[in-house]
Amino acid sequence: MKIELTETQKNILDFLIDQIKGKGIPPTLADVAKHFGYKNRATVQQHFQAIEKKGYIRKNPKLSRGIELTLEEKFFVPKPVLGEVAAGNPLTIYPDAIDTIELPTIARMPKDSFLLRVKGDSLKDAYIFSGDIVIVNPNLEPKNGQIVAAILDDAAVVKRFYKKKNEIELVSENPEYKPIIIDKKYASFKIVGLVIGVYRSMDKKAV
């Protein structure tokens, strides 16, 4: 349906999305021009025209900042650049560890965070279920008691984090599960990031 964008157009669209998601308000032509080092607004104008023609955006003519994304009727926009984005991502180091990873964009998500779609029920002791989306920030230092996403022994877990003297303890919400103690034995242990939120879409669950 949608026609392919060129590299430049993709970059501009990405910047557009970034601004809308991050700042909450679409940029002006001048904003975009400045960001890409264009000396001229008309350049951006023409790119927007091209992008609009390909169906990715809609313009409210004569309106300042009147650019809308056609993409999102929904909460989550499956990023078309998924493959490439994941490549630059901390997660790629463990591409197989987490069952299935999708990187949708959610509005107003902190810029440095990413989303993981949880598949499998291995995380349900943290009230997180298959199909849920966890919002993970890899740049936040987890404090004791916070929930982290971590990899150990090729499995992904979401648990409460406690740092002790010589070890790290990962505690489940569910008391049935015993805490996992991380010490030197675990060579393949890595904190992926701090889980700052969970989202679950009900849309498709109707069976």
**Binding residues for a copy of itself (CB under 8 A):** 20-21, 24-26, 28, 64-66, 68, 72-73, 75, 106-110, 127, 129, 143-147, 194-203, 205-207
82 touches which of DNA, a copy of itself, none (CB within 5 to 8 A by kind)? none
10 Å CB burial of residue 47 (0-12, 13-18, 19+) is buried
Residue number, 10 or 124, with CB nearest to DNA:
10
CB of 71 to a copy of itself, least distance (A): 11
CB of 108 to DNA, least distance (A): 19
Give dist(CA 191, CA 49) in Å, integer: 44
**201 belongs to the catalytic site:** no
Backbone phi, psi, residue 131, to 5°: 95, -15
Catalytic residue of the set 34, 59, 122, 130: 122
Residue number, 16 or 115, with CB nearest to DNA:
16
Residues that bind DNA (CB under 7 A): 6-9, 28-31, 33, 36-43, 45-47, 50, 59, 61-66
Residue number, 49 or 139, with CB nearest to DNA:
49
10 Å CB burial of residue 4 (0-12, 13-18, 19+) is exposed
Backbone phi, psi, residue 132, to 5°: -70, 155
CB of 36 to DNA, least distance (A): 7
Give dist(CA 107, CA 23) in Å, integer: 10
How would you classify the pairing of strands 133-137 and 147-152?
unpaired
**10 belongs to the catalytic site:** no
Q: Nearest-CA neighbor of 147 among 190, 109, 193?
A: 193
Residue 110, both tokens: 């902190």
72 touches which of DNA, a copy of itself, none (CB within 5 to 8 A by kind)? a copy of itself
Give dist(CA 33, CA 95) in Å, integer: 36
CB of 185 to DNA, least distance (A): 49
Active site residues: 122, 159
